[in-house]
Amino acid sequence: MPPTQVAVCGPRDCTDADAANARNIGRLLAEAGATVLCGGGHGVMAAVAEGASAAGGLVIGVRPDTDPDGICDGLSAVLYTNMGEARNAILVWSADAVIIVGGSWGTLSELALANRRGGVPVITLGGWQIRDAEDNPVEAAIVASSPEAAVRIALAEA
Buried/exposed code over 10-45 (b: 16+ C-beta within 10 A; e: otherwise): bbeebbeebbebbbbbbbbbbebebbbbbbbbbbbb
Mean pLDDT of 19-35: 97
- pLDDT given for residue 157 in this prediction: 85
What pTM was computed for the model? 0.95
pLDDT in tens, 46-93: 999 999 999 999 999 999 999 999 999 999 999 999 999 999 999 999
End-to-end CA distance of the chain: 12
